[in-house]
Structure formats: C-alpha cells, structure tokens
A and B are shown apart, each in its own frame.
Chain A
Amino acid sequence: MTDLPTSPFPALLVGLPILVATLSLFFRPRGKAVVGLMGCLLTGGLGLIALVEVMQQGTVIHILGGWDPPLGILLRMDSLAAVFIGMTAVVGVFISLYAWWFFRAREATNGGFPLFWPLWLFLWAGLNGLFLSNDLFNLFVTIEVIGMSAVALAVLSGKTAAQIAGLRYLLAAITGSMAYLFGVALIYGSTGTLDLGLLRQVLEPGATTTFALLVITLGLMIKMAGFPFHFWLPPAHSSALAPVSALLSALVVKGAFYILLRLWMEVFGVSITFSAGQLIGLAGAIAVIWGSWQAFMQTSLKLIVAHSSVAQLGYLLMIFPLLILAPGVAAGSADWLSPAWTAGVYQVMAHAFAKASFFLSAGIIIMALGHDHKGSLRDLASRMPMTVMAIGIAGVSLIGLPPSGGFFAKWMLLKGIFLSGQWWWAPVVLAGSFLTAGYVFMLLRLAFATAREKEPFRPVPKGLEVCALLLALGSFLIVLPAEYLIQFLESSEAFGSGIQSIMEGGTYGND
C-alpha cells in the first residue's frame, strides 16, 4: 500500500476548501462571496489537475501528517476516485459561477446568502475527502461532513417549508450514518481493521459479515434516497435555493452511492449473494417506476425534477444485482461485470450534469416568473430559448436517448442485464425511459405552447442561462471520451481485485 507514489494533491483537495471556507468566515458578506468563488475555482482547478495526475501516474496516496494508519489517515486516489473528483470539479465550478450571478441578482431583494459559500466549500471538502478515503471510519466522518453542510445549505433560504424539509433530511441523514457506523463497528469487531484494502483480504463470509453488510447497505440507501427511503428527498431538494438543489441532487446523493459501489465491488465481494443483489435491484426498479410516475404527477417544476432524482437514483441501485450472475449462467470471464460497473459510473455522471442543469434552469424560470408552476412554462420557448434548450438537452439525457451520457449508461446497463442473464430487469429500464420521456416532454410541450395570458417577466442575467446550457451539454460530451474513460476505470487496482472477489463471491452465492 505504502509503495504507491505519494502526491500532495489528495491533501490539498480536502485541505484547501476547508481553509478557504474558514477564512471566508472572517469577511463581510460581499467579501465572503468573492473569497468563496475564488476558492471554488481553485478547488475545481485542483480537482482537474489531480485527475490528470492520476491519469498519468496511476493511483497516488498521501499520508496525512506522516502518521501511519490505523491512527493516522491515508488518502488514496485511484482512477474511480479521480473520475468522481473530476466530475465534482466540473459540475461544482459551473454551479459556483451560477451561484455567483444568482445571488448577485437577488441581493437587493432577498440578501445575497453569503453563508452559501463557506458551506458549499465545506461540502466540497467533504466530497473530495469521501472519494479519497481508504478506510471505513474516514468514510463515516466525511459523509457526516457532507450531510451536515448539505442540510445547512438546504435550509439556507429560511423559508418554513425548507426548514421542515431540512429537519426531515437531517434526521434521515443521521439515521443512515448511525446504521452505517453500526455495521462498521461489527466489521471492526470481527476483523480488527477498517482499511479497505486489508479488509478485502481478511474478510470471511459469515453471519457477522452478512449482517454488517446489511446494516451498512441499509444506512447508505437511506442516505442516497433509495426506495423505500426516498421520502426525504423531494421536499428537501425542491424547497432549497436553485444552486443548492443542483448541488444536493447532482453531487451529495452520489457520495453514498460511491461508498456503496466501493464496498460492494472492493470489500464485500465474498459475502454478497444473488438474493441480496436481487433485493437491492428490486428497490431500484420500484424507485425507477414510482419516481418517474410521481414526477409525472407533480405540478411544480422543482418537484418534478426532485421526484425525477428518485427515479434516476433507482437506476444506480439496479447495477448491484448485475454484479452477480444469475444461477445457471456460466461465469466464463468477467465480461458481464464491466458494463454494469461502468453503467453505474456513467449514470452518476450523466445524472449529475443533467440534473444540475435542470435545477439551475428551474431557478432561472423562478427568477424570471416568480414561481414555477408548470403552467407558467407556456410560451417560454420564445422568451427564454436558451433555458428551454438546456431543459430539452438535459431531459434527453435523463430519458436516455442517444447520443447522451444517459443513453450510454442505459446501454451499458442493458448490456450488463443481458450478459448476466437477468433479462427481467430490461422492461424496467425501458419503462423508466418511457415515463421519463412523459414528464420531460410534458414540460417541453408547454414551453412551445402559446401563452394564454402574458405573465410579468423579469429578464435574468445571461450568465445563468449559459451555465445551465453548458452543464446540459456536458451530459452529452461525457460520451466522447467513453472508451478511454472505461479503460482508465478498469485500470484501477480496486476494480481488478473487485472482479476477482466477485468472481469468487458469485460462485459462492450460487452454491
């Protein structure tokens, strides 16, 4: 482990945003925003440089303060972490720029919400820390940092609905963390280590391990709003300020998924069973259908988008059953694994870009019209063509039409489904796409319809519209480097060992 090249980037990626966030607390409101934006741009740039570094050097590590584990902390940046950090950097920078214009435009009436900046930087530090963590307890600490700053951001608007939704969100987050931590305690008790790499070697299948995996998965599913624990997400995401909604849905929920993916792939390979996979896949499948249907039934734009997140996160859960072959399907090679795995990563990225763009567009519409009832979208296409374009492009990616990132994710997902012999998931994927098309085009249809009466319309800064549009385009552009990106992901040591342990686990589960 320690023979890997050391790099300062992992420490900087966590340290810098915390430093800037703390620093900005000493400034006046205006200064907070300036310092905050600078910090965001720096952190984003750093994230991209770190991604390039990992692409060139392979996995890098950093031991904080020179204290060796287990009491010290080791940060490890492999290709999976690098991809997530890079994605956070790109999405984060665009949302930051949007937030800058958004709060400036509202400063006169609502105040500039200066606390957004330190909170967002703390959140960013937590996300980077999460992606870089190499032990179970660090993951807990970072996900708590994320949870607390996320809730604080969610209640920032000060509206009553946001406070109530925020409390519900916070309680769900604490419950999820505690469940996760309980599982961690059990693992530590049975193995005496928390290091992911070591655990992979020493973990043995047994009742304790299975129970620990169950509690951990349960906790993380609460955190990522997996069905049936999705209840907290729509109110919290829809009542927050627009840039915050974008952050929450694009990045925050992905943190819990990242841990889940890491643990299932890297650590618990030996103890996952076919039926466990089916169960979590079923939760995902219900989320896809239920969330899409709920989105279709909503009347306000932000609620539509928030319910759509429930559905899109369902697709992420659906990759887990595909990690285990159906009984009776010969495991010749690890062919079936790579599509399922990359489908997850691509779904994360496509959803991050598209959903961020969607929420930002919703914010623009609210700013222009003062509300977001879906009927208000009438005739928007002629008044705000760029925003309608952004909604259209992001929507196409959510539906999964080619050649978007969403399409690529669904393609890989379907491929994994067929290759692992679990064809019964295929109708769910297609029905989800169809329902998504239902609500996306419900919005676009209104945007093209002529207005019944002219509503008061305030012009919005162009920068906002550009940010939303660029993010939407991002959900398409991620397909271009797909081949390279997949090879890069597969080069990860974790992936290689994950395949091995799952191959073993797969046969174990089928016996």
Chain B
Amino acid sequence: METTSLLPLLILGSSLIPGVLILLLREDQSALRSFLNLFGAVAKVSLIAWVFAGYLRGEEYTFIFRLAPQLTFALQVDQLGLFFATLSSVLWLVTTLYAIGYLEGGQHRRRFFAFFSLCITASTGIALSGNVVTFFIFYEFLTLATYPLVVHLGTDKAVNAGRTYLWYTIGGGTVLFLGVVGLYVLAGPVYFGQTEIIASLISENAPQLTILFFVFLAGLGVKAAIFPLHSWLPISMVAPAPVSALLHAVAVVKAGAFGIIRLVYDVYGIGVAEQMNLLTPLAVLAAFTILYGSIRALFQDDFKKRLAYSTVSQVSYIALGVAIPGVLASAGAIVHLVHQGIMKITMFFAAGSVAETYGHYKISELNGIGRRMPLTMGAFTTAVFGMIGLPPIAGFVSKWYLGLGAVEAGSYWVVLVLLGSSALNAAYFLPIVYRAWFCEPDHERVSRIRSGRLETRALLLIPVVVTGLFSLAAGVFAALAGSPLSIAREIAEKFYLL
C-alpha cells in the first residue's frame, strides 16, 4: 500500500478529460467530438489491459489522496475491480460506437457525449475504489452523470422519468451515506479487503453491524433494482437506446450489484456475513425479484420495457449468487456481472436499431423483422437463448454455477427459482424471436433508413454483432484460462481462502 501510482488516476482521466473537452466544443464539431470519444475509449481499454497485465505480474497500483484526517480518497487495483473495469470499458467502447451512429443528426449531442464520458468515469471509479468512502463518491457521481442522459430527449415523458430516477437514486444515495458514515464511525476507514476489521467488531457491536448491513443494502439495492426499489428502471426506458444500454449493462445497475458484491465479500467478509445470518434475507429478496421481474416482463408490449423488466430479474441473479455461501455460487454471481452485461447490451442495441431503422417500438410490430435485419436479430436471438440458459451461451454458464452452488449449499429451493425463471424467460423472450423469424412481415411499413447494402447503418450494426459474438464466446470458451468464468472463479476462491 506504500507505493503510489498515478495509473488508476489516468484510467479515470481517459474518459474524464474527453468529457470535459467535449463540453467545451461547439455543437457542430462532430468529427472532433467522435475522435475524442473514441480516443478516450480506446485509451481506457488499453490502460486497463496494461494495468491488468501488471497486476497479474504482482504489481500494485494504489493512489491515495488524504482529504481529512482519516478520510481518504483511495483508488486501488484488485482483481474484482479490474474485472468490472474491463467489462465497463470494453462495453463503453462498443456503446460509444453505437451511440455515434444512433444519434447521428440528433440534438444536443455535445451534452450527451460529455455526460456519457462522465458516466463511464464514475463507473470505472466505482470499480477502482479502494475504500467505502471513495466508492460512495463515485456512486453518487454516477447518479448525477446519468441524469442528463435519462432526460436527454427533453420531452415531458423523459423529464418525468428523470424525476423518478432521481427520487430513487438520490434516496438510495442518502441512505447509503448514512451507512457509510455509520460504518466509518464504528470501524474507521474500511478499505476493501480488510474484512478483519468487521470480524473484530462482531462480538461487541453485532446489532449495529446488522443494522448497517441492511442500511447499505437498501442504499445499493436501489441501483441494483432489487424489489421493491426497482420501479425507476422500467420508467427510465424513455431514454435513447445507448443510454438504456448504459443503465442496464455497463454502469448503473452494475454499480449496485458490484456494490453488493463488495459489501458482502470485501467489507463484511463472507464468513461474518454467514455467521450473522445476513444472507438469507438477501437471498429471499433476490429470488423474489427474479420471479417478479420475469412475470412483469410477460405483460409488456413495449419492446424496451420488456427488456427492462428482464433486467430487474437478471441482475438479481448476481445478488442471489452472493447470498448463497460457496465458491461456485460466488463465481456464478461474479461472472454474471459480465454475462448479463454483454447479453443485455446486445438486446438493447438490437431494440434500438429496430426502432431507429423501422420505427418499431412495440413487440406486436416486430413481425418478420428477422428477414429484414438478419444480423441484428441473429445477435438478439443468441442473447435470448443465453438469457434462457441454453448451452453453450454465456447465460447458461452463470445459471449452471448458480445452480451447482445452491445444491452445494443445500438450498434446493434456489434451483426451483432458477428453473422457474428460465421458463419465464423463455415465455417472454421466445414470442419475440418467433415473430421476428416466423411471422409474415406487415407490408404497410416499409420506410426505412438505408445505408448501402447493409441492413442498417454500419455503426448500429457492428456493435450488436460484436456483443452478440461476445455472448457466444463467453459461453463456448468458458473453460479456457482468461475467460470471464475462469477469472471469476479465481476471485471467488480468494474470498473463501481468507
């Protein structure tokens, strides 16, 4: 911890600086803006790769700035943080490409891309936070950076959605603040990984620690969209598709889920959490959210809304995995961070492309869309199969590990929840796939944007194909070293060694 490195700061700067610069540009300088954006995105991915390589060689990267006595702003690099940072930065690169294509000719693009960059800064900040305070700082920063994106369209609907979004997230943030200060007063500055601090307090302050745990959970649960704190997520659907991708896959819900992982494994420690019986309520809540989200999704005709309820359900897999003690379930939870991200981003990209190209927003309008946009819908279908849990796609791997973990821990009811959820997933996703490929297209709507011989603009097509391939590859190559799964297993094993 003695060595100080500016690299973590540089990783944040790689999106913060372009963000600020973009704000200073004129609205019509779109080429320069795109260049800054992509430069930042590529730089971030490379920096993270560099740091990851260094970390594997055993180097430490820590940046510490003391704000006040015992109140430090700390960035540090560990495997879990890097894992999340890699996910965010890679998906950000893809989303940036997609957003450039999606918003071509739109209004207020300067503002959009500036806050887009700030948003990912917050997300990587969350990943690299070294202690609870820093995590909280970026967690709130994320709320603020996403708000202008949610209300981007400026319509009454968007503005109202923004209001709901804020009430929930600011409320969650306020509760989290209470937890952070409470923990600070009780245990001093807690760095992630220092689980021995809480362990040493357990004999004296058990009731306080229990209360604090649930205060934290309430604060984090808002962003992780755990029932009953999930309502903001479907409402925020009015935002443009790249923003939805960001909310659902890259940054916001992930920040909540990642926070829960940190809370259980790196602050309390799995041993303490289990000993204090903190996990059962979380497991029950997560399981309920999984089923609840899926059932609500069944009844949505709006394409993006159905996807949103699906997110509510899918993200709770992570919380569920965390709540089941055992290496396998933990690995399933951690790897689902990535798997859910790449599958859901594929879906949102596809939904956005369809809406942008043909103006279809409802599922009932999607008849025959697969024939018109085969690559887009092909990627979408891959993601659907993954979500349902068919091998060999990414989602299957997560579910398999979660299931094995549940059996290992003796929680057989969890297996039932997983099976039920898979059935529900199939019930709400397969009709879309069926309509897209097997129904005759309605011939009234033929107006569309054409871009050469491609089915839609190249910048809308490439990202969706890439993420579709990711979801396939993450499943097929799960057994290889360096796959998300193998890294997640390593991370999980370390938690249980302590």
Direct contact of A and B (CB under 8 A): yes
- Residues of chain A touching chain B, judged by Cβ–Cβ distance below 8 Å, are 342, 379, 381-382, 385, 389, 392, 396, 399, 401-403, 408, 410-412, 414-415, 418-419, 426, 430, 433-434, 437, 441, 444-446, 448-450, 479, 482-483, 486
B173 and A449: CB pair below 8 A? no
Give the Cβ gap from A406 to chain B, nearest Cβ, in Å. Answer: 12
Task: For B184, give its contact among A401, A415, A479, A483 (CB under 8 Å).
Answer: A415
A433 and B174: CB pair below 8 A? yes
CB-CB under 8 A from A414, the residues of chain B are: 177-178, 181
Can you list 16 pairs linking A and B with CB atoms under 8 Å apart?
A: A389-B23, A392-B144, A403-B67, A408-B68, A418-B185, A430-B175, A433-B177, A434-B171, A434-B174, A441-B147, A445-B159, A448-B148, A450-B154, A450-B155, A483-B66, A483-B68
B108 and A430: CB pair below 8 A? no
CB-CB under 8 A from A437, the residues of chain B are: 166, 170, 174
State A342–B67 Cα separation when bound (angstroms): 13
- Interface flags for B27-70 (1: CB within 8 Å of A; 0: not) read 00000000000000000000000000000000000000011110
Nearest to A339 among chain B residues (CB) is B68
Q: At the interface, yes or no: B162 with Cβ under 8 Å from chain A?
A: yes
Q: At the interface, yes or no: B361 with Cβ under 8 Å from chain A?
A: no
Q: At the interface, yes or no: B156 with Cβ under 8 Å from chain A?
A: yes
CB-CB under 8 A from B166, the residues of chain A are: 437, 441
B159 and A403: CB pair below 8 A? no
CB-CB under 8 A from A410, the residues of chain B are: 177
CB-CB under 8 A from A426, the residues of chain B are: 178
Task: For A401, give its contact among B144, B152, B171, B185 (CB under 8 Å).
Answer: B144
Given A381-B111, A448-B151: A430 in contact with B185 (beta carbons within 8 A): no
Task: For A379, give its contact among B147, B148, B154 (CB under 8 Å).
Answer: B154
Q: At the interface, yes or no: B141 with Cβ under 8 Å from chain A?
A: yes
Q: At the interface, yes or no: B71 with Cβ under 8 Å from chain A?
A: yes
Give the Cβ gap from A7 to chain B, nearest Cβ, in Å. Answer: 29
Nearest to A346 among chain B residues (CB) is B68
Q: At the interface, yes or no: B140 with Cβ under 8 Å from chain A?
A: yes
Given A385-B111, A437-B166: A449 in contact with B159 (beta carbons within 8 A): yes
Binding site of B, secondary structure by majority: helix, strand, loop or mixed? helix
Give the Cβ gap from A322 to chain B, nearest Cβ, in Å. Answer: 13
CB-CB under 8 A from B136, the residues of chain A are: 402
Given A401-B173, A449-B159, A482-B68: A396 in contact with B144 (beta carbons within 8 A): yes
Q: How many A-B residue pairs have CB under 8 A?
A: 89
State A382–B152 Cα separation when bound (angstroms): 11
Known A412-B68, A437-B166; 10 more pairs at CB < 8 Å? A342-B68, A381-B108, A419-B185, A430-B174, A430-B175, A445-B163, A449-B151, A449-B154, A482-B67, A486-B69
State A412–B69 Cα separation when bound (angstroms): 11
- Interface flags for B216-256 (1: CB within 8 Å of A; 0: not) read 00000000000000000000000000000000000000000
- Residues of chain B touching chain A, judged by Cβ–Cβ distance below 8 Å, are 23, 66-69, 71, 73, 107-108, 111, 136-137, 140-141, 143-144, 147-148, 151-152, 154-156, 159, 162-163, 166, 170-171, 173-175, 177-178, 181-182, 184-185
A430 and B178: CB pair below 8 A? yes
Task: For B67, give its contact among A399, A408, A434 (CB under 8 Å).
Answer: A408
State A293–B326 Cα separation when bound (angstroms): 48
B174 and A382: CB pair below 8 A? no
State A89–B154 Cα separation when bound (angstroms): 40
The 5 closest A-B pairs by CB, nearest first: A402-B137, A450-B154, A418-B185, A414-B181, A437-B170
Give the Cβ gap from A379 to chain B, nearest Cβ, in Å. Answer: 7
Given A382-B108, A402-B141, A441-B163: A479 in contact with B67 (beta carbons within 8 A): yes
CB-CB under 8 A from B184, the residues of chain A are: 415
Chain B CB within 10 Å, residue with most, of A379, A381, A445: A445
Nearest to B73 among chain A residues (CB) is A403
B182 and A418: CB pair below 8 A? yes
A403 and B137: CB pair below 8 A? yes
B174 and A411: CB pair below 8 A? no
Nearest to B151 among chain A residues (CB) is A448
State A290–B147 Cα separation when bound (angstroms): 27
Nearest to A450 among chain B residues (CB) is B154
CB-CB under 8 A from A483, the residues of chain B are: 66-69
Task: For A448, give its contact among B67, B143, B162, B181 (CB under 8 Å).
Answer: B162
CB-CB under 8 A from A418, the residues of chain B are: 181-182, 185
Chain B CB within 10 Å, residue with most, of A437, A448, A450: A448
